[in-house]
Amino acid sequence: MSHFPFGAPRRNRVVALMAGAVLLGAAALAWAASSFAASGITLAELGHDPLGSMRLARGAYPHPVHLQFPPAQPLSAVASIGQVLFNDPALSGSGRQSCASCHDPAHAFAPANDLAVQIGGRSMDRAGLRAVPSLAYLYRQPPFSIGPENAEQEGVSLVQSISRAGHATRATKRADSSAAGRNLVPQGGLFWDGRADTLQQQAGGPLFNPLEMDAGSADRVAHVIESGGNAAMFRALFGPSVFENAQQVVAEAMFAIARYQIESPAFHAFNSKFDAWMQGHATFTRQEVRGYLAFNDPRRGNCAACHLDRPTADGLPPLFTDTQYEALGVPRNPEIPANRDPAYHDLGICGPTRTDLRNMTQYCGMFLTPSLRNVATRKRFFHNGQARSLAQVLRFYNLRDVDPARIYPRGPDGRVEIADDLPAAVRANVDHVDPPFGRHPGEPPPMSERDMRDIIAFLHTLNDGWHSPH
């Protein structure tokens, strides 16, 4: 008779094997349940995508993808001159400020300091009106328009698009639906108000802005470039008579800076932990997984509804923006000198910097949704730099509607001044529809403290320059 090593009869051995299998199965289920719970994965998610959920519970991207990155190659001669010009303070009226002064390559092409607005002007004593955005990841930014790019929109003027939008229904923006991508809303363009359509146009804005580089005239800029060390290369690239026309010199210089931004991988490195994770080359911590899930959960952060985090259909990595405009009703920032005038209001698309849509009051208070790549390296947030940390940003989203007294100041009458940075006539434009907004005072906030900490941990995975510890 065959026996277990301990002398158990065959029948007992079968029973023991079955019991052991049950115990092992129970232990495996308990481990799996513990892993899923620790990673924030729900039973519904597990049932919808079991294999993907199991990978996610281990910290892996559910379904690794092959991403299409911009080609890495040496800069062209035009882009090389653009790099020199980008870093040349002589172009500014003060002689002390270059593009890189506010768009520091060491800080994701954003300011290195923690000022709400940057200081410029000919004497370097004038404050800007808005927080300086990053210049990174703009190479795929579409031009400004009303509504999605499609065949129906071709040949339609901006005025016609605005008229159509006024009669169109608007889908709620949810991270689990793409319906809002078809909304007839402002999108694309550069700057917080979309007033420039190309990087070349964008480069010229700060150059002549009296609050920024304040370069003076095209004649002066042309003289600076002609007197510099790249005049011969400038002539070789743009023609021997290029310096006979100052406007052409400026146009070619801005074109060169734009080419530098497009060609240099530094502006779109795509080497964050998130990029490696999507390709199956990195593992998230449990907190980062929980943050990723909360970021995508319409019932909690719903961040991915505006900050798209999925690759495009043709394999391009996500830029973490839908390039649309939102009226968030961010609190007024008293640190901005212009705000000392109570009659001054920054209305975004409606002005004061942009002027062509000043009468389209339905868009007043709307600002461009920025990319969240490298957002954890920033020291100021929102168009007016009102928030100093990601924790403050998430607190605003979490409490704005349910506990506005903790977000906005009180007026002389003791009432909470909701959306106090906008005139009363356009406060109705503030988004009260898209989650996490839309709740009512006294209701529970959509995110827990843990949710917000987890989302911040996830946002840190979007920083460029990640290196595998192995």
Question: Residue ranges per domain, the chain?
Answer: 50-67+270-470, 77-138+193-268
368 pLDDT tier (thresholds 50, 70, 90): very high
d(CA 341, CA 350): 18
pLDDT in tens, 23-63: 444 444 454 555 566 666 665 555 567 888 889 999 999 99
pLDDT at position 10: 52
If you ran DSSP here, which 8-state letter would residue 224 be given?
H
**Domain 77-138+193-268 classification at class level:** mainly alpha
pLDDT in tens, 374-405: 999 999 999 999 999 999 999 999 999 999 99
Number of Cβ atoms within 10 Å of the Cβ of 23: 10
| Position 7 pLDDT exceeds 90 | no
Verify cis geometry, omega within 30 degrees of 0, for the bond prior to 352: yes
Q: What is the mean pLDDT of residues 225-251?
A: 95
6 pLDDT tier (thresholds 50, 70, 90): very low
Q: Which of 82-96, 180-194, 410-424 has the lowest mean pLDDT?
A: 180-194
What pTM, to 2 d.p., does this model score?
0.88
Domain 50-67+270-470 listed as CATH 1.10.760.10: yes
Residues sharing a CB contact under 8 Å with residue 302, sequence separation 6 or more, in sequence order: 173, 174, 175, 296, 434, 435, 436, 446
| Token output for 71 | 């080609």
Q: What is the mean pLDDT of residues 111-134?
A: 98
pLDDT at position 184: 80
**Tokens 């800076």 sit at which residue?**
257
pLDDT in tens, 312-361: 999 999 999 999 999 999 999 999 999 999 999 999 999 999 999 999 99
If you ran DSSP here, which 8-state letter would residue 119 be given?
E
Q: Which of 102-116, 145-159, 195-209, 273-287 has the lowest mean pLDDT?
A: 145-159
Q: What share of the chain is helix, strand, coil (3-state, %, to 5)?
A: 40, 5, 55
pLDDT at position 5: 36
pLDDT at position 170: 67
pLDDT at position 174: 78
User: Measuring CA to CA, which residue among 135, 106, 73 is closest to residue 377?
Assistant: 106
d(CA 188, CA 321): 10
Q: Are 80 and 261 in contact (CB under 8 A)?
A: no
| Position 65 pLDDT exceeds 50 | yes
pLDDT in tens, 175-191: 777 766 667 889 999 99
Q: What is the mean pLDDT of residues 6-31?
A: 47
pLDDT at position 185: 87
Q: What is the mean pLDDT of residues 264-285?
A: 97
pLDDT at position 179: 66
More reliable by pLDDT, 180 or 367: 367
Q: Which of 15-19, 104-108, 133-137, 239-243 has the lowest mean pLDDT?
A: 15-19
User: Measuring CA to CA, which residue among 433, 435, 317, 333 is closest to residue 371?
Assistant: 317
Average pLDDT, rounded, for the chain: 89
CA distances from 236 to 15, 81, 211, 231, 233 (A): 88, 12, 34, 9, 5
Which own/partner pairs from 83-89 qualify as long-range (CB within 8 Å, at least 24 positions apart)?
A: 83/260, 83/264, 84/230, 85/225, 85/253, 85/256, 85/257, 85/260, 86/257, 86/260, 86/261, 88/228
d(CA 139, CA 70): 10
Number of Cβ atoms within 10 Å of the Cβ of 150: 8
Strands of 390-465 (E only): list them.
none
Percent residues over pLDDT 90 in the chain: 78
**Tokens 């480069």 sit at which residue?**
203
